Amino acid sequence: MAGFALSRLRRSLSATVLNALAVTDPFRSPAAGLYSAAVVGTAFLNLAPRFAGRRRTVTQSCIGTPKLELDTPILCIDLEVMDSNMQKMAEFIMSRGKQWRPHEKCHKTPAIALKQIAHGAIGVTCAKVSEAEVMAAAGIRDILIANMIVGRQKLERVAALCRHADPIVAVDHFAQAEPLAAKCRERGVNCRVIIEVDIGLNRVGCRPGVDTHELAKAIDGLEGVTLSGIMGYEGHLLTVADPVEKREKIEEAMSVLRHCRDRLLNDGMDCSIVSAGGTGSYQITSECDGITELQCGGGIFADPMYQVNMGVGGLDYALTVLATVVSRPALDRAVLDSGRKSQHPDFTKPLVKGHPGATVTHVSAEHCQVALEGDSRDLKIGDKVELIVGYADFTTVMHDCFYGFRGERLEVVWPIQGRGKLQ
């Protein structure tokens, strides 16, 4: 019956659609083609995930291809540079007696998180329950959700996650901790909890001192959760220009966490985790007493935002968008096919790799304007150039996958599995 319906549907679809499917997927079996065609005919939106899988299959067949032969725009990782950045971060942090729990928001990709763990990371930091689920599905257990989890569905998901991983959830109020504990009790699981303390960022976070102490005591008495420590994020200090002042201010912020920890410990509570740090501060925060683990993640790509805006040294650019020169309207201007829909230029403009005379001046939806001086004026229509991504976090989420290159040859295509995981 279903077969009959499908064959009727197939007949009703134009030959053009079927031919297009045949062309785009060399591995298509007749049955798969029929199924896909049926879905095209009924609900195009439902096809999107299937197409995503299909595209992945096709792109894997590009492995071995030289970078400049690939179509654009695509998001490229220099694997050797990323690996060396990971190595340097891990060594820096561990040599100071701290642990590394990198935030995964710059990559949202289990394959990369597993590489960080291979370099010594103890687990990952996530912002969303859905991101944590992606990481847990890849076998990662020690997952900090460094965000406030509120709402029935999310609590249910956290409780379910506790059966497949060993998550930690950040809270800054009893009104988050109590329902989490209740849900965990109901489901017969236990979840680790840490208190986020406001160390000056003024985003979320419990006030240090009495408030944090009282919250800790309240959580400590809850069945279903285990108080495991505290965290704070010094995001407000990353761009302090003077390095001496930056160090002083970060040390001061970390001393707030230390005092909170001491109060908890003196009262017999567990505070074995004191988590802090971002890429823009990790070289300082790693050297602060009392901190047990660092959340810095983006340093694996070491975007200009970190190196230029935050003065982070010792790491190299690893993430680029490969683009094509599509227009040369003037001797001193080129236009590339990578606009705001494939890269985020607002915090820091992208840099043009290997062309010191080329400067990105304006990025609109589908176009990137580049001012040309010196040898970069030799760029012509059809040439490919690499834009060093200004800030990975907001760029990664626009792409289906990372293309990983060793030298100039494509070695891996990693689907960005956490893309679209917003809940």
Alpha-carbon distance of 367 to 78, in angstroms, equals 24
Alpha-carbon distance of 298 to 392, in angstroms, equals 7
| Residues between 15 and 54 that touch ligand PLP (CB under 6 A) | none
Do 233 and 170 contact (CB within 8 A), yes or no? no
Residue closer to ligand PLP, measured from CB, 310 or 335 = 310
Residue closer to ligand PLP, measured from CB, 82 or 379 = 82
Interaction of residue 232 with ligand PLP, rule CB under 6 A: no
Judged by CB under 6 A, which stretch of 4-12, 71-79, 99-107, 109-117 contacts ligand PLP?
99-107
Interaction of residue 279 with ligand PLP, rule CB under 6 A: yes
Do 304 and 320 contact (CB within 8 A), yes or no? no
Interaction of residue 109 with ligand PLP, rule CB under 6 A: no
Q: What residues pair up with 368 in beta bridges, in sequence order?
A: 336, 363
DSSP state letters, 15-51: HHHHHHHHHH-TT--HHHHHHHHHHHHH-HHHHHHHH
Judged by CB under 6 A, which stretch of 9-17, 264-272, 292-300, 359-367 contacts ligand PLP?
292-300
The nearest distance, CB 394 to ligand PLP, in angstroms, is 11
Residue closer to ligand PLP, measured from CB, 86 or 385 = 86
Helix (H, G, I), strand (E, B) or coil at 244: helix
The nearest distance, CB 392 to ligand PLP, in angstroms, is 8
Interaction of residue 286 with ligand PLP, rule CB under 6 A: no
Interaction of residue 233 with ligand PLP, rule CB under 6 A: yes
Interaction of residue 295 with ligand PLP, rule CB under 6 A: yes
Among 235, 290, 311, 357, binds ligand PLP (CB under 6 A): 235
Interaction of residue 319 with ligand PLP, rule CB under 6 A: no
Classify residue 93 by its DSSP letter: H
Classify residue 249 by its DSSP letter: H
Do 233 and 295 contact (CB within 8 A), yes or no? yes
Helix (H, G, I), strand (E, B) or coil at 402: strand
For 189, left (φ over 0), alpha (ψ -120 to 50), or beta?
beta
CA distances from 390 to 87, 315, 366 (A): 22, 15, 17
Interaction of residue 298 with ligand PLP, rule CB under 6 A: yes
Among 208, 297, 304, 350, binds ligand PLP (CB under 6 A): 297
Interaction of residue 124 with ligand PLP, rule CB under 6 A: no
Q: By CB under 6 A, how many residues form the interface with ligand PLP?
A: 13
Alpha-carbon distance of 405 to 120, in angstroms, equals 23
Interaction of residue 257 with ligand PLP, rule CB under 6 A: no
Interaction of residue 123 with ligand PLP, rule CB under 6 A: no
Interaction of residue 296 with ligand PLP, rule CB under 6 A: yes
Tokens of 332: 């001193």
Residue closer to ligand PLP, measured from CB, 283 or 343 = 283
Residue closer to ligand PLP, measured from CB, 37 or 145 = 145
Strands 273-276 and 293-294: what pairing?
A: parallel
Interaction of residue 100 with ligand PLP, rule CB under 6 A: no
- Among 223, 178, 215, which Cα is nearest to 196's? 215
The nearest distance, CB 125 to ligand PLP, in angstroms, is 6
Do 360 and 370 contact (CB within 8 A), yes or no? yes
Tokens of 291: 């901190």
| Residues between 131 and 150 that touch ligand PLP (CB under 6 A) | 146
Residues that bind ligand PLP (CB under 6 A): 103, 105-106, 125, 146, 233, 235, 278-279, 295-298
